[in-house]
Amino acid sequence: MTAATSTPAAESAGQPARAHWQHRLAERGVDRQLWLLTPALLFVVLLFLYPFFYGLGLSFQPTEGRPFSDYARFFSDAYQRATIWTTLGLSLPAALLNVVASVPIAYRMRGRFRGKRLVTILLVVPITLGTVLTAQGLLNFLGPTGWFNRVLTAVHLTDEPIRLIHNYWGVFFSLIITGFPFAFLLVLSYLSGIDPTLERAAATLGAGWWQRFRVVTLPLLMPGLATTFCLTFVLAFSVFPSAVLVGNPAGETRVISIAAYQAAYEQYDYPYASAIAMIMGLIELVVISVVLFARTRFYTGSTGGKG
Amino acid sequence: MVTTTAATGAGAAGAPDVRPRRRIVARPAAWFVWGAVIFFFLNLLGVVGSVLVSSFGQRWFNSWLPDGYTSKWYGEAWTEFALFQVIKVTLEVSLLVVGLSLLIGVPAAYVLARRNFPGKRTIYLVFLLPILMPPITFGIPLATVLYKFGLAGHLSGVVLANLVPSVPFVILTMTPFIEQIDARIESAARMCGAGLRSVFLHVLAPLLLPGMLASAILVLVRTVGMFELTFLTAGPDSQTLVVALYYSMSAAGIRAQQSVDAMAVMYTAMMVVLLVIALRYVNPTQLVARVKEEPEP
- pLDDT above 80: residue A265: yes
- Position A3: which residue type? A
pLDDT grade for B17, boundaries at 50, 70 and 90? very low
Among A178-187, B15-24, B230-239, B261-270, which is the least confidently predicted range?
Answer: B15-24
Residue B293 has pLDDT above 50, yes or no: no
A58 belongs to a structural domain? no
**% chain A with pLDDT above 90:** 17
Q: Write the CATH number of the domain with boundaries B75-287.
A: 1.10.3720.10
Q: How many C-beta atoms lie closer than 10 Å to residue A99's C-beta?
A: 24
- Looking at residue B177, its pLDDT comes to 85
Q: Does A299 touch chain B (CB under 8 A)?
A: no
A234 in any annotated domain: yes
Q: Is B142 on the interface with A (CB under 8 A)?
A: yes
pLDDT for A20? 77
| A29: nearest CB among B115, B232, B268 | B115
Residues of B in contact with A185 (CB under 8 A): 284-285, 288-289
Domain that holds residue A263: 84-296
For position B285, what pLDDT does the model report?
Answer: 61
Strand partners, A203: none
Q: In whole angstroms, what is the distance from residue A272 CA to residue A63 CA?
A: 8
Going by pLDDT thresholds of 50, 70 and 90, the confidence category of residue A301 is low
pLDDT band at B6 (very low <50, low <70, confident <90, very high): very low
Q: Given CB atoms, is A57 within the 8 Å cutoff of chain B?
A: no
Long-range contacts of B154-157 (CB under 8 A, 24+ apart): B154/B235, B154/B238, B155/B89, B155/B92, B155/B93, B155/B96, B155/B238, B157/B233, B157/B234, B157/B235, B157/B238
Position B284 confidence tier, pLDDT thresholds 50, 70, 90:
low
Which chain A residues have a beta carbon less than 8 Å from that of B295? 227
Asked whether residue B296 carries a pLDDT value surpassing 60, the answer given is: no
Which residues of chain A lie closer than 8 angstroms to B272, CB-CB? 125
The mean predicted confidence, pLDDT, of chain A is: 83
Does A9 have pLDDT greater than 80?
no
Q: In chain B, where are the structural domains located?
A: 2-70, 75-287
Determine whether the interchain pair B50/A146 forms a contact, defined as Cβ–Cβ distance below 8 Å. Answer: yes
Which neighbouring-strand residues pair with B255? Answer: B252
**Nearest Cβ partner for A238 among B34, B103, B134:** B134
Of A3, A37, A147, the CB nearest to B46: A147
The pLDDT of B235-263, averaged and rounded, is: 82
Predicted local distance difference test score (pLDDT) of residue B250? 79
In the predicted model, is pLDDT for residue B231 greater than 80? yes
User: What pLDDT shows up at residue A140?
Assistant: 85
| Cβ <8 Å between B64 and A150 | yes
Residue of A nearest to B171 (CA): A40
Whole-number pLDDT of residue B99? 95
Helices (H), A143-217: 147-154, 168-191, 196-204, 209-211
Confidence check: pLDDT of A143 > 90: no
Element housing B22 (H / E): none
Q: What are phi and psi of B255, to 5 degrees?
A: -105, 160
User: Residue A23's pLDDT is what?
Assistant: 77
A204 touches chain B (CB under 8 A): no
Highest mean pLDDT among A84-98, A186-200, B105-119: A84-98
Mean pLDDT of B73-84: 84
Residues 269-288 of A with CB under 8 A from B: 270, 273-274, 276-277, 280-281, 284
Indicate if the alpha-carbon torsion angle B10, B12, B15, B18 is positive or negative.
Answer: positive
What CA–CA distance (Å, rounded) separates B90 from A28?
Answer: 45
Inter-residue contact B33 to A119 (CB < 8 Å): no
Predicted confidence (pLDDT) per residue in A38-73, tens digit:
889 999 999 999 999 998 998 888 877 778 888 988
| Confidence (pLDDT) at B94 | 93
Of B132, B102, B290, B123, the closest CA to residue B212 belongs to: B102
Nearest-Cα distance to chain B for A126, in Å, is 8
Q: Which residue of B has its CA nearest to A277?
A: B137
Q: How would residue B92 be classed by pLDDT, with cut points 50, 70 and 90?
A: very high
A-facing residues of B in 234-273 (CB < 8 A) are 242, 245-246, 249-250, 260-261, 264, 267-268, 271-272
State the pLDDT confidence band at A95, using cuts at 50, 70 and 90. very high
Residues from chain B that touch A178, judged by Cβ atoms under 8 A, are: none
| pLDDT confidence bin for A17, thresholds 50/70/90 | low
Beta strands in chain A (DSSP E): none
Contact B218, B278 (CB under 8 A): yes
B285 contacts A120? CB cut-off 8 A: yes
What's the average model confidence in pLDDT over B164-193?
87
Q: How confident is the model at residue B163 (pLDDT cuts 50, 70, 90)?
A: very high
Q: Count CB neighbours of A47 within 10 A.
A: 20
Q: Which residues of chain B are within 8 Å of residue A146 when distances are taken between CB atoms?
A: 46, 50
* Residue B287 clears pLDDT 70, i.e. is over it: no
Cα–Cα distance between A152 and B60 in angstroms, integer?
19
Name the residue facing A260 among B21, B136, B297 (closest C-beta).
B136
pLDDT for A112? 74
Q: Does B188 touch chain A (CB under 8 A)?
A: no
Amino acid at residue number B277: I
Cβ within 8 Å, pair A141-B274: no
- Give domain status of residue A204, yes or no: yes
Mean pLDDT is lowest, of A79-88, A291-300, B121-130, B205-214, for A291-300
Inter-residue contact B261 to A138 (CB < 8 Å): no
**Dist. CA A138–CA A6, nearest whole Å:** 50
- How many pairs of residues across A and B have Cβ atoms under 8 Å apart? 284
Q: What is the CATH number of the domain that holds A292?
A: 1.10.3720.10
What is the total count of domains within chain A? 1
Whether A260 sits inside 8 A of B135 (CB atoms) is no
In chain A, residues with a C-beta closer than 8 Å to the C-beta of B66 are none
